Structure 1
């Protein structure tokens, strides 16, 4: 592929690209503001030019918090059709980005079919395929050839991926912290990160993604893909949150984000993981300060370890808190987390819970963007049910629920029936409504 200028390089040259214009329009922000923040590394736009039908999505400072959906096969459940259906479901439910994280089957075919099925920016974790295919060939993932890994990264980008979670921040120093602190209560949670740690332990070598970081950036730049610095040592239990190993990787990743930007590569930092609620704000503050305000992609986070079966709710609490305090992209969690591979309905439930969570966070982060909530409240007050649907996040679900339990009196609902507080309140105060509280 011929050399191109990245969104970051073009922004620094004063160029406002079509992608920047689209993000500005979607976010109701000036195009020049988008350009300036991309130039500073505060906003990224995943934009592999090989994928012409891809939607332009901005992630970063001053923008709506985005929701990522992760799908993919495992050795127990492996179906291309199922993954394509999950990808389509994610797009239908309003996800902003998608990660195709298959770890079994024909991973090239699955990735390509998913890319054809949706217009969302799609990313992945290249270590999954690298270790799985090495294991198939040699019956030992520790025989991974670093040259094969770099070739695989480029091959996957040639398919049209626009961002990658690459575990560059794991090194021998990080692993030593794990050993000296006596490992962890919750073990290691990152598949790619754990297999890289195992490779380093078996070979005694340094992580090639860390050792040859400039090479990683040069490959990503060729496709204007965002390098998301993977959180391979993230905590899998709240009692491990912010231990020395996690902090070592976070410091390295934030430093690499700065180095990558200097090379003209769009950079994003990944975060935890399992984090108690009282530590979420501090975690985001540290990432923003140490990385020069690079966009922060958080995986959840989950503020408790005991919600299995309802971890989409556990995560939604963490996601709302993270969004409020400055996280830019949140990876959804489904009800199946920690228990099983998600199915299509799990995907839908996970997206809805996470979209609602980041909306709640954005309402706190951007007080000026609360107008929609006021309009919804007024429609509910006035019992204008059709109007209310215009402002709801899930209008079809709301309409279906109301239709299935319809009231005798059309204006009320079956929650209160003829004992309706809204109806009685309007009878008493309708003549006193003034200013912007007026009935529309």
Structure 2
């Protein structure tokens, strides 16, 4: 191997096996893909130690991808259940799994996850720092933080969220501008606390070059985290968020110089009328790097239904430049999600991603929708269930109130518009009061 990262290979004109797979999946010419990877507009997160990986590309011109967050917490320690969530998420089409474990045997769980998962694996090393190092926050040194990143990279993690943009300049603006919800990023809040207690600069910002050397060694994509993402509508597009984004743009160029692939993380909570502009600002300030968004959630008053508020925002975001959607479940803001929450969250995010792909004219995006239309025109219910995102649920609904005729559903019965039109075009009568055989 005469290259270290996917980006380095692309810059040298080398088509890696991962690029071949991604180009095939995306109906794209290899030379078209290699150009985008070299420019940083597409990333292929593929740690050299993740042997079970089925690689995916994230970026402009590609299908919108979906990430699922899960992991062990102190209030819910069940390793088997988290692995069940992984299987369910992958079965419903999630392309990435982020292990956000912050309690217990995190290394063992992550090792098992990397061994078994064909999906990309991401982590936030900051979450794992206290448990991994067995030190309280104030006792952790800058070198310790880098050691946790090194441990994750060596294990085989494909991308890591690093909150390197929350530096002393960003914090100064955050304090001056004031916020309704302050900092809602878990990793960002921990770094903010560490910086305030120690008086030191953010270690991931101060020792960014050393961090990049670690990531380059294992070809780990850096996902530059949004520590200052808005946690409510009132805080969106403020000085803290925008100033951090400016920092992330500068850090992006430094990573590319080291041939490290970059994604940018974004909001958060945001009113619908601000989303498109935010996507364009990110692409401009961060030089076209792929954008990874949490939501955005378009209203703050729907706990229990935030998979819906997120899907609305995610569809708008992906139509206007976002490339990677982090799912949100109905349990958001309330508790750790269970299996059903994960299912609902994945499906909502996949709907948003697919809808955006259609709007963006991604090659082949409409094919499945056209097949569904053909099946509906024929009133072929079994075919509809096969094509549906969740065919099992669709079939359960259909069969819960059985129609009199199999060529309709219980909503319209014999007055089904498709049935009526098909009969007339076939030269048959439409007799609504008669018992018809067909």
Question: Normalising by the residue count of structure 2, what TM-score does the alignment of the two structures yield?
Answer: 0.94
Q: CA deviation at 1:177?
A: 1.0
Inter-CA distance 382–105: structure 2 relative to 1 (3 Å threshold): same
RMSD: 1.7
Please give the alpha-carbon distance, in whole angstroms, between the structure 2 residues aligned to 1:199 and 1:121. 30
**C-alpha distance in 1, partners of 2:278/2:395?**
39
Name stretches of at least 5 consecutive residues in structure 1 with no aligned partner. Answer: 432-440
> Is 1:404 paired with 2:400?
yes
1:178-223, Cα deviation, whole Å (9 max, x unpaired): 11112x1123211111000010111111001011111111110111
Structure-2 residue corresponding to 1:73: 72
The superposition leaves residues 95-126 of structure 1 with CA deviations (integer Å, 9 ceiling, x where unpaired) of 00010001111221221222233221101000
Partner of 1:343: 338
Question: Is 1:87 aligned with 2:86?
Answer: yes
Give TM-score scaled by structure 1 length. Answer: 0.93
Q: Give the Å deviation of 1:315.
A: 0.5
Cα deviation per residue 1:211-267 (whole Å; 9 max; x = unaligned)? 111111111011111100011111100100011011111111122112211111011
**Quick one: structure 1 residues 150 and 338, their matched pair in 2 at CA, closer, same or farther if it must change by over 3 Å?**
same
Deviation (angstroms), 1:387:
3.0
Pairing of 1:41-190 with structure 2 (within 5 A): 41-133=40-132, 136-137=134-135, 140-182=136-178, 184-190=179-185
1:176, 1:3 → 2: CA distance?
44
Alignment of 1:293-312 (within 5 A): 293-312=288-307
Q: Which deviations, in whole Å up to 9, do the C-alpha atoms of 1:287-326 show, x marking residues without a partner? A: 1111111010001111111110010111010111111111
CA distance in 2, matches of 1:19, 1:178: 41
Instruction: Summarize the Cα distance change of 1:133–1:160 in structure 2 as closer, same or farther, 3 Å threshold.
Output: closer
1:425 aligns with 2:421: yes
Work out whether residues 326 and 365 of structure 1, in 8 Å CA contact, stay in contact via their aligned partners in 2: no
Name 2:313's counterpart in structure 1.
318
Matched, 1:208 2:207: no
2:4 corresponds to which residue?
Answer: 5
> Number of residue pairs matched?
426
Q: How does 1:207-226 map to 2 (within 5 A)?
A: 207-226=202-221
SS at match of 1:418: helix
Is it true that 1:279 corresponds to 2:274 in the alignment? yes
Deviations 1:151-200 (A, max 9, x none): 11111111110100001111011111111112x11232111110000101
Q: Secondary structure at the match of 1:187?
A: coil
Quote the residue 2:32 is aligned against: 33
1:194 match: 189
Task: Measure, in 1, the Cα distance between the counterparts of 2:386 and 2:283.
Answer: 35
Q: 1:353 aligns with which of 344, 348, 353?
A: 348
Q: Is the CA contact 1:311–1:335 (under 8 Å) kept in the aligned structure 2?
A: yes
User: Using the alignment, how far apart are the partners of 1:206 and 1:367 within structure 2?
Assistant: 43
Contact preservation (8 Å) 2:6, 2:44: yes
CA distance in 2, matches of 1:403, 1:30: 44
Give 5+ residue unaligned stretches, structure 2.
Answer: 428-438
- 2:241 match: 246
Task: Name segments (4+ residues, structure 1) moved above 4 Å.
Answer: none
Secondary structure, counterpart of 2:415 in structure 1:
coil
